[in-house]
Structure 1
Amino acid sequence: MVAAEDLPRCFAVVGAGSWGTALAVQLARRGHAVRLWGRDAVAIEAMAETRVNTRYLPEVTFPATLEPQADLAAAVEGADDVVVVVPSHALRACLEALAPLLAPRQRVLWATKGLEPETALLPHEVAADVLGASRATAVLSGPSFAGEVGRGLPTAVTIASADSQFAADMAQAFHDGMFRVYTSADVIGVGVGGAVKNVLAIAVGISDGLGYGANARALLITRGLSEMMRLGVTLGGKRDTLTGMAGLGDLLLTCSDDQSRNRRMGLALAAGDDVPAAEARIGQVVEGVRAAREVYRMAQERGIDMPIAAQAYRVLHEGDSPRDAVRRLTDRPSRSEAE
């Protein structure tokens, strides 16, 4: 007899970029019916015909149960749950479009990493503001490149929710031998990890691009983790979360591999590009650029020492030289590592 939680379900995945497509493919691999919605109707029609997202994930063929869908209402209607995969700056507008379409029973998980521009709200705060506190919500985060998930390579992520049943249900929906899912109740810690690691990856990319070597990279990652933990704990997150998959794990991945858009942004800045030129070359949203402004502002307002994030902000938004930014970090006086 098949357990109820193992039965195929129906999901709407909202957002047909690389990560949304990869998560839709993973759910479909598990046997679930998946409707993948994207705002570009022409691209969605092409996906339906070719069974491939040629722009964002060209090497991955869609499983039979994945249906590209250009009509948001049709994608959401009758789905068991909704998975939102859009950049942080678009999350509020996306949820506002979804809100009137959602049935009372439908729950919402997002795989958005970042902070809302201008407000510095974490994704769960945006969701509560738009959807209300009574709707079950969750976040999926962790060290995961879309291309590797799409190709079925080994990956582990965290799903966090105040609703433990929803977290368990979504873990069961995604989890298989190659896509391992851990659950957590620490939505704040997972959100902070997903936002701050992008800023730190830009800093590491700058250092590597300037040729400062592996020692400097290890320094920036280790001390960057300390900055992430200071902010996360201040906001109410848990240290264990920030040293786990959604914190340290994602930080290591994003800082150390050139599949990371944020790392590539740092490399481009070190090579002399400005931010618009680097973003145009990368061709996708670089979350750390926007997050740097909000992380810097939060740290300043709360008196949190985050020197690496601060220097990344100054390079990205105040036009400082990458070399000068690194020099300001190396010129800092010696201190206790515990500080």
Structure 2
Amino acid sequence: MNVALIGSGSWGTAVAGLAAARAERVTMWAHSEQTAAGINGEHRNPRYLVDYELPGNVVATTDLSQALDGADSIIFAVPSTHLRSVCHQAALFIAAGTPVLCLTKGIEPESGLLMSEVIASEIGNESRVAALSGPNHAEEICRGGLSAAVIASEDPQIGETFK
């Protein structure tokens, strides 16, 4: 399975490490060339969780189409203020049935939509969008600390994809 992880902040970096354990390849989309270069060259994010070494099957790019090319599943870990615009740009490169997981928390002020609903409104086929939530922190995930999370989705199979 190839996973596209859209976002390279602390949460995206931590989840990339988790996803890498079950995926053939995780391709992270980074807004910054410096971040992508650090992940590709040293397997570390130079801006977030700098001491966390990413597995060798995690790569990064600043090109959305490249990050999404061949993805069997997609994880969005983009800050809420940028989620709609990134999803709008990414929509062109996302196949209609590809399962999507939203890690972004919050409510869009203008619309009142949850972040998973923002994703669905931009990429379509809302039944394939799941949301992860729980009392967890990226730093604790990277250290292998105790954590909890739930995945909610309309379609149980979509939720199982990201289990």
How high is the TM-score relative to the length of structure 1? 0.46
Cα offsets for 1:225-250 (capped at 9, x unmatched): xxxxxxxxxxxxxxxxxxxxxxxxxx
Change (3 A) 1:53 1:134: closer
Number of equivalent positions? 163
Aligned to 1:112: 104
2:90 matches 1:98:
yes
Change (3 A) 1:43 1:128: closer
Aligned to 1:165: 157
Q: Structure 2 regions of 5+ residues with no counterpart?
A: none
The structure that has the greater radius of gyration is: 1
Report the alpha carbon displacement of residue 50 of structure 1 after superposing the two structures with TM: 1.5
Change (3 A) 1:76 1:135: farther
Report the alpha carbon displacement of residue 78 of structure 1 after superposing the two structures with TM: 0.5
Aligned mates of 1:75, 1:145 — CA distance in 2: 25
Aligned mates of 1:29, 1:153 — CA distance in 2: 16
Change (3 A) 1:29 1:135: same
Report the alpha carbon displacement of residue 153 of structure 1 after superposing the two structures with TM: 1.9
- More relative contact order in 1 or in 2 (CA 8 Å, sep 6+)? 2
As a proportion of its length, which structure holds more strand?
Answer: 2
Q: 2:25 aligns with which of 10, 29, 33?
A: 33
2:135 matches 1:140:
no
Q: CA RMSD in A?
A: 1.5
Aligned to 2:58: 66
Q: 1:121 aligns with which of 82, 96, 113?
A: 113
Aligned mates of 1:148, 1:68 — CA distance in 2: 23
**Contact 1:89–1:117 at 8 Å: present in 2 too?**
no
1:102 alignment partner AA: I
1:99 alignment partner AA: A
Cα offsets for 1:111-139 (capped at 9, x unmatched): 01011122222123222321224551100
For the residue of structure 2 that corresponds to 1:91, the secondary structure is helix
Aligned to 1:151: 143
Aligned mates of 1:41, 1:78 — CA distance in 2: 22
Aligned mates of 1:56, 1:160 — CA distance in 2: 27
Aligned mates of 2:96, 2:124 — CA distance in 1: 11
1:165 alignment partner AA: Q
Report the alpha carbon displacement of residue 166 of structure 1 after superposing the two structures with TM: 0.6
Aligned mates of 1:160, 1:49 — CA distance in 2: 35
2:122 alignment partner AA: V
1:96 alignment partner AA: H
2:52 alignment partner AA: V
Aligned to 2:14: 22
Q: 2:69 aligns with which of 32, 56, 77?
A: 77
Report the alpha carbon displacement of residue 168 of structure 1 after superposing the two structures with TM: 1.2
Q: Structure 1 regions of 5+ residues with no counterpart?
A: 1-8, 172-339
Aligned mates of 1:59, 1:22 — CA distance in 2: 11
2:132 alignment partner AA: L
For the residue of structure 2 that corresponds to 1:58, the secondary structure is coil
Aligned mates of 1:95, 1:31 — CA distance in 2: 23
Aligned mates of 2:81, 2:110 — CA distance in 1: 10
1:72 alignment partner AA: L
Over the matched positions of the two proteins, sequence identity in percent amounts to 37
Report the alpha carbon displacement of residue 18 of structure 1 after superposing the two structures with TM: 0.1
How high is the TM-score relative to the length of structure 2? 0.93
Change (3 A) 1:77 1:135: farther
Aligned to 1:51: 43
For the residue of structure 1 that corresponds to 2:50, the secondary structure is strand
**Contact 1:89–1:115 at 8 Å: present in 2 too?**
no
For the residue of structure 1 that corresponds to 2:106, the secondary structure is coil
1:45 alignment partner AA: A
